[in-house]
Structure 1
Amino acid sequence: MLDTKDFSFFETQNNFDFKAFFTKVIGYWPWFIVTLVIAFTVAYQVNIRKQKIYGVSTTVAYKEENNPFFTANTSLVFNWGGTSDQVQNLTTTIKSRSHNEMVVKELNYFIEYLRQGKYNLEDAYGEVPFYININKNFPQITDQLINIKFLSPTEYEISINFESSKVSLLNYNTEVLSSTNVVIGEFKKRYKIGETVSLPFLNWKLELTNNPGFYDGSTHIVRFANFNGIVENYKNIDISSDGKGGGVLQLNMQGTNKARMVDYLNGTVNKLISRQLEAKNQFAKNTIAFIDSTLVAMEGQLKDTENELKVFSLDKNIYEVELGGEKYTDKISDLDVEKDVINRKLAYYNNLKSYLINSTDYSKLPAPSVAGIEDPNIISNVSKLTALSAERSAMSYAVKNDKQFKDFDVQMDALKRVLLENISAAKSAIQYDLSAVNRKIGLVENNIKKLPAQQQELVKINRKYDLNKNVYNSFLEKRSEADIVRAANLSDIQFIDPAKDTGGGLLGPKTSVNYILALFMGLLLPLIFIFIITILDNTIKNTDDISRLTTIPILGVVGKNPGKSNLAVFEKPKSALAESFRSIRSSLQFLYKKQQSGSKVLMLTSSISGEGKTFSAINIATVFALSEKKTVIVGLDLRKPKIFQDFQIENNIGAVNYLIGQKSLEEITQSTSIPYLDFIPSGPIPPNPAELIMGDSMKEMLDELKLKYDYIILDTPPVGLVSDALELTPFCDATLYVVRQSITKKDMLTLVNNKHKRGELKNISIVLNGFENKAKYGYGYGYGYGYGNYANGYHENEEPKNPIVKFIKKTFKK
């Protein structure tokens, strides 16, 4: 039946031992050195292979510039619109594909000028003595290194290594991809500087820069890059806005070539300025185009009227005919001009209304002022609608963000509704003015009808001529104003600080960061590995582990055996290992003093095989024998005997032969090379080892041994595997349970605890075997041994095998 004592594992709690973990970390110091060396080597190799990274920036401002020619007397008003969201739109434009395509094409940035660096190809833009002027009507080879070597001041050689029979071509003007066949191998050909290169895969002229320097004999590399890839790289330009001034933007670029970045930043801003000014002048262009078309028609009408007046004046005294009618001519002309102005306003309103209802593109609307409309609401709203429409059309090639398009559409719809309401209100007022003018004209016309026929005819002709002349002159004046406005327009985008190479701007590589990262990784990786080992390792590491898991006393601590033989105490009696066994002997003698006099029987057992039970039995027996106490070792591991090998004795006969009655005690007892120490091997492996140990013959053998020896050491099987050792407990004065560092599992002590609490193992103590303090570079034998230089002279010093440990020990000795 199970005893309540079997559940003793509830009495202990497994907590993480930080002290043991720290000790283990120190013990694995070579791992840290190796990982640190590897990490720093990798960091060094990365640092020397990285190219220097520079940062270049330019600052621009968006500020709506008023045209200096917009005065109170100027009848034309052109307004590009409000400033709301213009900075955001500007940022979007800078990052747009279409804008960057224009800049890349204008700067020919798809042509890469390279040089072979120590570890990789480097950007040599601005440093080569030449530039490539390509013929954009023909395709060029892409992604292929073209070597250029100057053979003389006037001649150079092109060499290309073709690895495939077909190469890709790209026409950088039309962006059409194609391919052509070539001969595999190295292609070479010589050309004069400035000579046209016309090949199926290459079309250019190589020109020298203004100051080429010494270039004779130099070698350079050119490559035509993927156009879309280059554009995509420049789309990632960093843009930040000034927190204090919302209209100020800073454009930042990072790269390996400052000259290339300076030219690109300035180029992209100049392109922005020209595009924005062009959009700003769009309203003026629309107005000029409308006026020009109107002037052509008016000029024809004016000529026809002049011809009609000439024909009428023939054979007539014009001054006599005019007499009496001139007062009506001036009056009717003024009224006709007033009526024409009203009619032009009505016509503009009707056309504008139809345009707003039926069209979606409002970028070509003329200024309302060409029709004499001076309503500031209509002028401003038409201007804003034109600007929004033009901007939306431009963005359709730049972004694919439906939300932004919807925002534009919402704004334009709102403006359309406001304009339609303004048109309705304005037309109502104008209709009233038109009726009033028509009434005045009717009265004057009635008076004219009372004049003679010739005077009526002359008034009619003069009336038509004056009207056409006034309208023509009015449009000429407005066209002149439009030209002045367009010429005087300023871009709303202005340079504050153009990009410039001032000699600084180095950003990287940040070698210190890589070294810090190497230090971090070099320490972290082994630490993580040691932590994993510690978590997964469930073995006994030190006496603290034993004390936490059991109340059984610890009799001693035995260090790791540095030799190959188990006769460690006999071979090196002054070693630290021998002293640890002498300490166990002293502790055992203290235990025996509490018992009656006579021979003492000591049993050694363990949980499993390999924990050093036999090693401990031999050396404990040796220290007793060296103190001139008659000692015998009895090999009672009848299932797996091996102690006889250490004494180089045959295992033909032994304890088994005595237990089955074949041999006497004298016949199975054999002397060893150690004085006062005898040995009884286990003998042949029996079929029933447990029954032999339980028999009466075992008691008889031990009784005989007590008569001859002072100490009897029993080497028994592991108690965790078989029950043989438990049968010997009644005959023993003390039991040593051997626990080995990094071998014995912590859970195994639960078995010993249970057997001890049930009384199956009496007078039991624990010996920690194979203990090695890895936190030191020497051995830490014993229970409190390992005093370093303070132990010199007390026992033999064992030189460590590790050469690094030897060096450290010698260094500390000095």
Structure 2
Amino acid sequence: MLDTKDFSFFETQNNFDFKAFFTKILGHWSWFLISLIIAFTIAYQINVRKQKIYGVSTTIAYKEENNPFFTANTSLVFNWGGTSDQVQTLMTTIKSRSHNEMVVRNLNYYVEYLRQGKYNLEDAYGEVPFYVNIDKNLPQLTEQLINIKFITPNEYEISIKFEESSVALLNYTTEVASKTNVPVGEFKKRYKIGEQVSLPFLHWKLELTNNPGIYEGSSHLVRFANFNQTVKDFMGIEIETDAKGGAILILNLQGTNKARMVDYLNGTIKTLINRQLRDKNQFATNTIRFIDSTLVSMEGQLKNTEDELKNFSKDKNIFEVEMGGAKITEKVSDLDLEKDLIERKIAYYNTLKAYLINSVDYSKLPAPSVAGIEDPNIVLNVSKLTTLSAERSEMSYAVKNDKKFKDFDSQMDALRNVLLENISSAKGAIQYDLNTVNKKIALAENSIRKLPEQQQELVKINRKYDLNKNVYNSFLEKRSEADIVRAANLSDIQFIDPAKDTGGGLLGPKTNINYILALFLGLLIPLIMVFSVTILDSTIKNTDDITKMTKIPILGVVGKKTSKNNLAVFEKPKSALAESFRAVRSSLQFLYKKQQAGAKTLMLTSSISGEGKTFCSINIATIFALSEKKTVIVGLDLRKPKIFQDFHVENTVGVVNYLIGQKTLEEITYKTLVPFLDFIPSGPVPPNPGELIQGESMKEMIDELKLKYDYIILDTPPVGLVSDAMELTPYCDATLYVVRQNVTRKEMLSLVNNKHKRGELSNISIVFNGFENKAKYGYNYGYGYGYGYGNYSNGYHEVEKSTNFIARLLKKIFNR
């Protein structure tokens, strides 16, 4: 039946002991020291191996530049769109893959110039005395180091180590990858500087820089990098807007080589300026292209009319012929020119309408001015549509945002519909002008019919000639205007502060941060380890753990055994360990004073094996014997006997033989090396040890021993494993329960605590065994003779010298 005392665990409240935890941290100082050494070593190795990182920047501005030659007569409109939209598009373009691919190709940045540093390969761009001009139409060896050694001022040697029979090639223009066979081993070949190298895997010319310096005998490395990876690296360029001006952009680039970054930043802006200016001139270029194609056909027509006029003038007095129709010819020519202009306008409107209906790319539309159209609505809307179409075409390489494309498409559709309405209205108005001109021409032609036949023929020829000539001159004038506009155009992107190596810009490696991180991790990792050990370790560490788990009194604290066998007190009677057992003896004698005179029986037990029960039994018995008290140790661990080994006797005869009536007490008792101390082994292991201990023979043996000895020490089995020790409590005057530091688990104390509360173990005390004065156990000085007096204990007992150099050094420091 359960007893309410069995629920004693409710009386114990487990709180985390921060003080003990902090003490343990101090006790494991070696863990922290080792962890810090490792962490700082790693940080140092990272710092010395990591290449220096620099930062280079450039500043540009976006400002819409109006063409200074733009007038109402030219009607070539190029600038349209909000500044904020243009700046955002500019930022997107700079980080786009297509733009960076163009810059990498222009600068040949897939060619790496390297040198072997102390720990790794370093970028030597701008420092080598040469450069290579590759044949961009042929493939090159990729991802393979090419060693360049200058043999003489005019000759160099190429050496490549081929580890496989085939190598990868790449055409950096078409980005077509291929492979070719090579001889395994080291390939070497010499060439003249400037000589064309034509190998299956290499096509270049090596040229010297403007100021190569002394380069004879020097060695350098060249490598053709992965093109896509190179582009990806430069796509990481950082762009930020100036807080004071939204149209001002600051471009930042980080890397290990400042010269390469300076050239790249300036190169990317120059490429951007050229592309932007090309797009800006697209309208003028389209116009010039249209005019050029028209002039070609006009030249033929003009030449034909000139030839016709010459043929007509032969053998005739041209002045007499012209006398009658000169005024009519001039008038008709003016009307013909006016009609041609109107028809060209109508033709442009028809072409534009068909283009808007059937096409989706409006970037190649010519300016309306080529047809003499000056309607501001049509001119502006055509310009807008051309600009939007060009921008959308550029964005297809830079932006993958469907919403952005839909916005452009919506704007272009709206402009297209507006233009179709404008064309319809304009054609209606211009058709009226055409009808009026046709009527005037008809009246003039009636007048011409009244002239003589030769004059009519001359007027006809002159009309055709004057028309072709005037139209041709008009187109030449328009082309000249378009050329002027295109030449005078300025890019909207301007350099404010080009990239330049000013000698600074070092960003890393940030050694201080690495060392701070090493300090943090060096402290955190062992701290976590100590915390984990503290949480997971449920063994007894100090006397505070015992007092929290049970109210059984602590009789004494015994230090850790340092001798090879269990006879520690006998071998070193003046040691601190011996004094701790003397303290236990004094406490036991105090308990015995409360009892009647006569022999005293003491039982030692524990929770499990390995807690030092036998060690304490032997040394407590030794202490009593050294005080000239007749003492006997009885080995009653009949299941797993081992105490006989310490006294160097055979375990063939012992307690078991007495209990079954085979031997007398004298026959099983052995003398030991310790005066006044006898020993009775347990004997052979019986099949029924529990029944033997419960028999009457056990009582008879104890009674007989009391007649012969002053102190009887019973070494019993662990009470937490078997019940043998419980059967011996009626014969004992006192019970010592051995608890060992770092071995006995806290839950084991609950077992003996319950037995004590139920009265199954009476007059019981605890001996704390194996105690070490180390902070890592969360316990300091205070228990055990010689464990709490510091320098005042010197001279009273032997002090063992520590074999640990660090421990001896610390002891000297603290004892000063």
Please say whether Structure 1 and Structure 2 have the same fold, judged by a TM-score greater than 0.5: yes
**Cα distance change of structure 1 residues 784 and 447 upon mapping to structure 2, 3 Å threshold:** farther
- Within the alignment, does 1:36 sit opposite 2:43 as a pair? no
Q: CA–CA distance in 2 between the matches of 1:616 and 1:765?
A: 13
Aligned to 1:709: 709
Secondary structure at the residue paired with 1:594? coil
Greater mean alpha carbon deviation, residues 318-327 or residues 405-414: 318-327
Amino acid at match of 1:198: S
Q: Distance in 2 between matches of 1:217 and 1:713?
A: 92
Deviation at 1:743, TM superposition (A): 1.1
CA contact (8 A) 2:607 2:744 kept: yes
**2:606 and 2:613 in contact (8 A); partners too:** yes
**How is 1:262-411 mapped onto 2 (pairs within 5 angstroms)?**
262-306=262-306, 333-398=333-398, 400-411=400-411
Contact in 1 for aligned 2:65/2:492 (Cα 8 Å): yes
Mapping 1:148-167, distance limit 5 Å: 148-167=148-167
Change (3 A) 1:421 1:591: farther
Which blocks of at least 5 consecutive residues in structure 2 are unaligned?
none
The corresponding residue for 1:526 is 526
Deviations 1:692-750 (A, max 9, x none): 22122322332333334333222111011110111112222222211111111222122
CA distance in 1, matches of 2:794, 2:284: 103
Tell me how far apart the structure 2 counterparts of residues 89 and 763 of structure 1 sit (CA, whole Å): 92
Counterparts of 1:424 and 1:725, CA distance in 2? 118
Contact 2:75 2:368 in 1 (8 A): no
Aligned partner of 1:235 in structure 2 is 235
8 Å Cα contact 2:83/2:247 also seen in 1: no
What is the deviation of 1:331? 5.5
Residue type at the aligned position of 1:362: Y
| One-letter amino acid matched to 1:782 | G
- Whether 2:741 is the aligned partner of 1:741: answer yes
Map 1:684-699 onto structure 2 (within 5 A).
Answer: 684-699=684-699
Within 5 Å, which residues of 2 pair with 1:627-666? 627-666=627-666
Structure 2 Cα separation of the partners of residues 229 and 530 of structure 1: 46
The one-letter amino acid paired with 1:54 is Y
> 2:802 is matched with which residue: 777, 800, 813?
800
Q: Following TM superposition, by how much is the alpha carbon of 1:494 offset from its aligned partner in structure 2, in angstroms?
A: 1.6
Aligned equivalents of 1:229, 1:473: Cα separation in 2 = 55
**For this pair of structures, how many residues does the alignment match?**
814
- Cα offset for 1:439? 5.5
Once the two structures are superposed, residues 228-275 of structure 1 have per-residue CA deviations (whole angstroms, 9 ceiling, x without a partner) of 332332233333333443322222222222111211221121111111
Comparing 543-552 with 280-289, which one deviates more in the overlay?
Answer: 543-552
Distance in 1 (alpha carbons) for counterparts of 2:318 and 2:193: 78
Equivalences for 1:177-188 in 2 at 5 Å? 177-188=177-188
For the residues of structure 1 that align with 2:797 and 2:405, how far apart are their CA atoms? 91
Query: Which residue of 2 is the match for residue 607 of structure 1?
Result: 607
For structure 1, which segment, 688-697 or 423-432, has the greater mean C-alpha deviation from structure 2 after superposition?
A: 423-432
1:462 deviates by: 5.2
Instruction: Tell me, in whole angstroms, the C-alpha distance in 2 between the residues paired with 1:426 and 1:594.
Output: 131
Measure the CA separation in 2 of the matches of 1:543 and 1:253. 64
CA–CA separation in structure 1 for the residues paired with 2:147 and 2:508: 29
- Tell me how far apart the structure 2 counterparts of residues 780 and 645 of structure 1 sit (CA, whole Å): 34
Would you say 1:6 and 2:6 are equivalent positions?
Answer: yes
CA, structure 1 residues 592+410, in 2 after alignment: closer, same or farther (shift >3 Å)? Answer: farther
Q: Structure 1 residues 614, 470: closer, same or farther in 2, change over 3 A?
A: same
Matched position secondary structure for 1:534: helix
Supply the distance in 2 between the matched residues of 1:82 and 1:242 (Cα, whole angstroms). Answer: 18
Relative to the length of structure 1, the TM-score reads 0.92
Instruction: Report if aligned partners of 2:239, 2:250 keep a CA contact under 8 Å in 1.
Output: yes
Residue 395 (structure 1) shift: 3.9
Q: What is the CA–CA distance in structure 2 between the aligned matches of 1:443 and 1:78, rounded to whole Å?
A: 43
1:123-138 equivalence runs, <5 A: 123-138=123-138
More displaced, 556-565 or 278-287? 556-565
Change (3 A) 1:684 1:708: same
Contact 1:566–1:646, Cα closer than 8 Å, also in 2: yes
Deviation at 1:467, TM superposition (A): 4.2
Q: Is 1:777–1:805's contact at 8 Å kept on the other side of the alignment?
A: no
Most deviating of 655-664 and 753-762: 655-664
Q: Which moved more, 1:457-466 or 1:522-531?
A: 457-466
Counterparts of 1:718 and 1:204, CA distance in 2 = 88
Q: Give the equivalent residue in structure 1 for 2:784.
A: 782
Matched, 1:580 2:598: no
1:489 CA drift (Å) = 0.7
Per-residue deviation, residues 55-106 of structure 1 (Å, max 9, x unmatched): 2222222222111112345433233644353233223322333322322222
C-alpha displacement of 1:484: 0.5
Offset from partner CA, 1:163-217 (integer Å, 9 cap, x none): 2333333333443333333332222222222233333333322222111111121
Q: Is contact 1:656-1:686 (8 Å) kept? A: yes
**Letter matched to residue 114 of structure 2:** L
Counterpart position of 1:199: 199
Letter aligned with residue 807 of structure 2: V
Aligned to 1:589: 589
Q: 1:342 and 1:596 mapped to 2: Cα distance?
A: 145
1:334-360 CA distances to partner (integer Å, 9 max, x unpaired)?
554444433333322221121111011
How far is the alpha carbon of 1:765 from its aligned partner? 1.9
Residue aligning to 2:220: 220
Query: Taking structure 1 as reference, are residues 264 and 799 closer, same or farther at Cα in structure 2, changes over 3 Å only?
Result: same
Which amino acid in 2 is paired with 1:562? T
Deviations 1:413-446 (A, max 9, x none): 2322332233333334434444555556566666
Q: Distance in 2 between matches of 1:306 and 1:109?
A: 59
Match of 1:809 among 805, 808, 811: 811
AA of the residue aligned to 1:807 = L
Distance 1:465 1:195, change over 3 A: closer
State the distance in 2 between where 1:24 and 1:129 align.
Answer: 63
Residue type at the aligned position of 1:33: L
Q: For 1:85, what is the secondary structure of its paired residue? A: helix
Report the 3-state secondary structure (helix = DSSP H, G, I; strand = E; otherwise coil) of the residue aligned with 2:246: coil
Answering whether residue 490 of structure 2 is matched by residue 490 of structure 1, we say yes
CA contact (8 A) 2:345 2:371 kept: yes
Q: Is the 8 A contact 2:576 2:786 kept in 1?
A: no
- Tell me which residue corresponds to 1:719: 719
After superposition, the Cα gap between the structure-2 partners of 1:621 and 1:418, relative to the gap in structure 1 and judged at 3 Å, is farther
Cα deviation digits, residues 557-594 of structure 1 (max 9, x gap): 22211222222223223322223223323333333333
Aligned-partner Cα distance in 1 for 2:793–2:247: 80
Name structure 1 gaps, 5 residues minimum: none
